[in-house]
């Protein structure tokens, strides 16, 4: 185990090209490969990696960059990835960087030391895309979902709370104002 430097964290087949496989790693990269090329997956057709801002490297950089989940969009053109702090939407025809980055846990950045001490920084979150490809979603802490609009120019960012009581019937739901973080969300688009 001392030689362990990188772990495959997620894998997903392309929705229309059964020979294409995308997989993510603990180093924060996504590789797209054609399984017809070789049984040994040591070469890839595309490599997707986020670029670090100069001077932003810290003890936690590699930990929070680890990708916990990836999903293809139904059309097969985009891949959604989830790392500890963000959701990233990638265009498979453009490997220079994500086409959109959605901040999920930015408020936790000042607390990374505490999260490391209690091992929460190693929590894994899944992600998904809506059937029409206009929204992406992921889980978060405190029984919350984060939903973001990913169409051109969208600033949609909604926080939804899952029921704390799964046995509660719909008629028992109490009315409460919906919570939206539309103006607070940090969505970065290229």
- Is the dihedral angle over the CA atoms 40, 48, 110, 181 positive or is it negative? negative
Question: Domain for residue 122, yes or no?
Answer: yes
- What pLDDT band is residue 38 in, cutting at 50, 70 and 90? confident
Total domains in the fold of the chain: 1
Exposure string for 18-31, b = 16+ CB within 10 A, e = fewer: eebbbbbbbebbbb
Report the alpha-carbon distance of residue 1 to residue 21 in Å, rounded: 26
**Which domain CATH number covers 27?**
2.130.10.10
Radius of gyration of the chain (CA): 18
Tokens of 102: 């959605």
| Cβ contact 32:20 at 8 Å | yes
Question: Domain for residue 104, yes or no?
Answer: yes
Question: Domain for residue 3, yes or no?
Answer: no
Using the predicted structure, report yes or no on whether residue 56 has a pLDDT greater than 90. no
What are the CA-CA distances from residue 70 to residues 27, 75, 79, 91, 101 (Å)? 14, 15, 7, 13, 14
Question: Domain for residue 145, yes or no?
Answer: yes
According to DSSP, residue 94 is labeled B
Which has more confidence, 88 or 43?
88
pLDDT of residue 55: 63
For 114-152, the pLDDT digits (tens) are 999 999 999 999 999 999 999 999 999 999 999 999 888
Question: Domain for residue 2, yes or no?
Answer: no
Report the alpha-carbon distance of residue 57 to residue 59 in Å, rounded: 7
Exposure string for 115-152, b = 16+ CB within 10 A, e = fewer: beeeeebeeebebbbeeebebbbbbbeeeeebbbbbee
Structural domain of residue 161, as residue ranges? 8-50+60-189
| Cβ contact 49:79 at 8 Å | no
Sheet holding 46-49, edge to edge: 8-13, 20-25, 29-34, 46-49
pLDDT of residue 53: 64
pLDDT of residue 18: 93
Question: Domain for residue 147, yes or no?
Answer: yes
Question: Domain for residue 79, yes or no?
Answer: yes
End-to-end C-alpha distance for the chain, whole angstroms = 39
Average pLDDT for 71-84 = 96
């Amino acid at each position: 185990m001392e030689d362990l430097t990188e772990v495959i964290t997620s894998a997903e087949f392309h929705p229309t090209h059964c020979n294409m496989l995308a997989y993510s790693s603990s180093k924060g990269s996504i590789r797209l490969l054609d399984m017809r090329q070789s049984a040994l997956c040591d070469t890839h057709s595309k490599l997707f990696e986020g670029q670090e801002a100069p001077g932003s490297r810290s003890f936690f950089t590699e930990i929070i960059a680890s990708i916990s989940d990836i999903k293809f969009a139904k059309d097969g053109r985009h891949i959604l990835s989830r790392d500890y702090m963000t959701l990233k939407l990638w265009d498979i025809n453009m490997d220079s960087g994500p086409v959109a980055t959605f901040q999920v846990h930015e408020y936790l950045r000042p607390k990374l030391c505490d999260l490391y001490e209690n091992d929460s920084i190693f929590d894994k979150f899944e992600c998904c895309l809506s059937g029409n490809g206009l929204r992406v979603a992921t889980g978060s802490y405190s029984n919350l979902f984060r939903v973001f609009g990913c169409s051109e120019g969208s600033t949609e960012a909604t926080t939804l709370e899952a029921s704390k009581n799964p046995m509660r019937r719909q008629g028992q739901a109490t009315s409460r104002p919906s919570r939206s973080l539309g103006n607070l969300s940090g969505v970065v688009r290229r």
